[in-house]
Structure 1
Amino acid sequence: MSKFKNTFELKFPNAAGIDIGASSHFVAVPPDRDDQPVREFPSFTEDLNALADWLTACEIDTVAMESTGVYWIPLFDLLEARGFTVYLVNARHVKNVPGRKSDVLDCQWLQQLMSFGLLSGAFRPQGDYAALRTLARLREMLLRCQATHIQHIQKALLLMNILLTEVLSDVMGVTGQLIIRAILAGERDGETLASYRNGHVKASEEDIAKALQGSWRDEHLFSLKVAVELYDFYAEQLMACDQQIQQQMEDLARYDLKPEKPKRRGGKPKNAPKFDARALLMQMCGVDLTRIDGIDVTTAFKVLSEIGADMSKFKSAKHFASWLGLCPGTKISGGKVLSAATKRTSNKVAQALKMAAVNLRNSQSALGAYYRRLCGRMDKGKAVTACAHKLARLIYAMLTKGEEYVDQGQTYYEEKYRERVIKNLTKRAEELGFQLTPASEMA
C-alpha cells in the first residue's frame, strides 16, 4: 500500500474541482484550506464572483471542471479572467466509482484527480479566436436554417406541379430567384417566366416554360411567399454576421501579406463569406492554406476559426491528427491488434478535412493521385480518413513552420511511387535469391 502511495505525488497542490450544473455549481478545495471544503454556489453572476473570491482566499491557482453542455462557459471565462489556470475536462474521462454518484462526490473526485495531475484539459482557442469561433458557428447555424427554407420553397413549387427543380440545378440561383419572385408578383405565363433564363442555364426556354405550368393554388402560393420571406430574412442575418466576422478577422490580422492569384479556376464557393476571406486568412496566419489542393476558402476558414493560428498546444503533427480523431486506433491485447479503427468524433475540423479529401477525386495533383491510389487499396471511407490525415499534417507544418505548400504534380508523385515499388520488389527478390531485370534489358 505504501508503494502505491509513493507512486502518485501531488503535482497541483493548490487545485480545486468544480462539478458544473445548470442552476448551481459544487466546488471542492483541499480539506486543509477551509472548514467547509465543499460548497455550493448558484450560477448567477454575483455568486460566480463569490466563488472566485473563495478560491482566491483558499489560495487556489488551478481549477478542473467538467464540460457540461454550455453551462461551463460563463464560469470558465470568469475564472480565466481572474488569473486561474482552468482545465476543461471530458466528463467521460473522470468517471467516479460505480454506485457512488452525487454532485459532492463528483467535485471532490475532480479535485483529487487534478491534484495528482491525472487530468488533461480540452483544447479551446484563446482570446479573440474564441470569439471568431462563436461567430463562425453562428454563421453555420444561419446557413442551415436558410437551407431548410429552400426545401420549403421546393416543396411549395412541387405541390403546384411547378417542376423548376427538373430544369434548374439551383432553384435559388439567379434564374430561379427571378422566376420565383415574378410568380409571387403575380406572373403566371410560362413563356414570360422562362424569359428570365440566364445564359449559363443548360435547359432551353421551351423546357423551362413547360416546367412552369402548374395549378397555382392559393394555399401553396402563400406557403411559397412565407418561405421566400424567411429565406430573405436569413440572408440579411448572414450579411450582418459576415460583417462581424470580417471585423473580427481584421483585428486578428498580424501579417501584411497579399495572396497570389488562386491557381484553381472557378468562382468562390456558394456559401463562402462575401468579403475577401482568403486575404484575411493569410494575414491571420502568414500562409495561404488554400494552396493545398482540396482546401478552399470555406475549409481554411473552418480550420482557423476552430483552432486559431497558434499550434503550440499540439506537441507535434501526430498529436494534432490524434486530437482530430484521424489517427488509427491502438486497441491491442496480448500483442494482437484487435482494432485499428479511428475513434468516433464530431470534430468540426476533421469533418471539413474529410470533405476536402473527397474533393481530390478529380484533382490532377500529387494529393489527388495519392487519394486515388488509396481508393484502389482500401474502401472509400478509410481512404478519405487517411487523406484527411495527410491534409491535417500539411496544415500543421504550414502553420508551425510558416512555409508555403508547393504541389509537385501528379506525374512527380506517380514517379516517386514507382521508385518505391521497384525498390521494395528488388529487396524482396534479393531475399528470395532472385534478381529483378528490366524488360528493356531482356529484349
Structure 2
Amino acid sequence: MLKASFIPPAPIRELRELTRYRKTLVQERASEIHRLQKVLESANLKLAAVATDILGKSGRDMLDALANGQEDPEVLAALARGRLRPKIPELQRALEGRVKAHHRFLIEQILSHIDFLDQAIAKVYQEVERCLTPFAEAITLLETIPCINAISAAVIVAEIGTDMTRFPSAKHLASWVGVVRCITRLNIPGTARKNSKGGSWVNGLPHIERSWGTVACH
C-alpha cells in the first residue's frame, strides 16, 4: 500500500506561496545588483573594488549622482561616508571611468527596479507576518536556534509545517527537505563509506537563506 503524500494544511500552503514568492523577489534583486555591477564595469568604474556594498549609503549616493550626470571622480568620491572616508583617494581612482549616456540610463533604471523590489519584498513580508499569527509559538521556538532569524523560521514552518508526526523520525525529515547526507556503513572491515542512493547533500534547505549542517544517517 502506498504511503500518503505530505500535503500540508491550507494555512501552511498559503504561507509557503508567500515565502517562495519572497524568495523569487530576493533572487531577482540579487540579479539586478549583478547587472548593475556589469554596467559599472562596462563604464570602467571599479566602485565594487573599494566599497564592499555598492548599495550602501555612500555607494547609493555615488550611483545616484552618476545617473544624474555627475562624472567628476573627486566630487563622486567626496560623497563617501563613515568608514569609506579614509578611502577617498582609492575611490577617486576607482571612479575614473568612461560613463556614457546609455550607462547613466541603465544605472537609473536598475536602481529604480531595485527600489521597487525592496518595496515589494517588504510588502510580501508584511503578509507573511500576518499569516504567521497561528504559528507564533513555533516561530518563537525556532528563533531560539542559532542563526535562525524571523524569515528563516517562517520559511521552515512554510516548508515542513508544525505537525512533526508526519515524519517517522528526524532523519526522515532531514531527508525529505534535502539536507541529509546519508552514509551507508557496511559491517565489513576496510570497506569505504559511500553515499546512499539520492543521498548527496545540499548546503542549504530549499527556499531558506541560511546554511544548514549535515545530518548523518548511520
Q: Same fold (TM over 0.5)?
A: yes
Consecutive unaligned residues of structure 2, counting only runs of 5 or more, are none
Match of 2:146 in 1: 293
Runs of 4+ in 1 over 4 A off after TM superposition: 329-334, 336-339, 345-348, 350-354
Paired residue for 1:231? 114
For the 8 Å contact 1:330–1:340, the answer to whether it is kept is: yes
CA-CA distance at 1:214 after TM superposition: 1.2
SS in 2 for 1:162: coil
Q: Post-superposition shift, 1:345? A: 6.6
2:26 is the counterpart of 1:143: yes
Task: Determine if the alignment matches structure 1 residue 313 to structure 2 residue 148.
Answer: no
Report Cα offsets for 1:14-63 as digits up to 9, x if no partner: xxxxxxxxxxxxxxxxxxxxxxxxxxxxxxxxxxxxxxxxxxxxxxxxxx
2:157 to 304, 308, 312: 304
2: distance between equivalents of 1:120 and 1:142? 35
Asked if structure 2 preserves the Cα contact closer than 8 Å seen for 1:284 and 1:309, the reply is: no
2:202 equivalent to 1:349: no
| Residues 175-186 of structure 1: pairs in structure 2 closer than 5 A | 175-186=58-69
Identity %: 26
- With the length of structure 1 as denominator, give the TM-score of the two structures: 0.43
Deviations 1:383-417 (A, max 9, x none): xx24xx69xxxxxxxxxxxxxxxxxxxxxxxxxxx
Alignment length, in residue pairs? 214
Report the equivalent of 2:7: 124
Output the amino acid matched with 2:177. L
Alignment correspondent of 1:323: 176
Match of 1:221 in 2: 104
Summarize the Cα distance change of 1:289–1:120 in structure 2 as closer, same or farther, 3 Å threshold. same
When Rg is computed on C-alpha atoms for both structures, the one with the higher figure is 1
Residues 245 and 193 of structure 1: CA distance in aligned 2, closer, same or farther (over 3 Å): same
Change (3 A) 1:178 1:301: same
CA 1:171–1:305: 2 relative to 1, 3 Å = same
What TM-score do the two structures reach when normalised by structure 2? 0.81
Give 5+ residue unaligned stretches, structure 1. 1-116, 254-282, 358-384, 391-443
Secondary structure of the residue that 2:106 maps to in structure 1?
Answer: helix
Shift of the alpha carbon at 1:248? 1.2
Over the residues paired in the alignment, what is the CA RMSD in angstroms?
3.2
CA change 1:331–1:208 in 2 (3 A) is same
RCO higher in structure (CA 8 A, sep ≥6): 2
CA shift for structure 1 position 286: 6.4
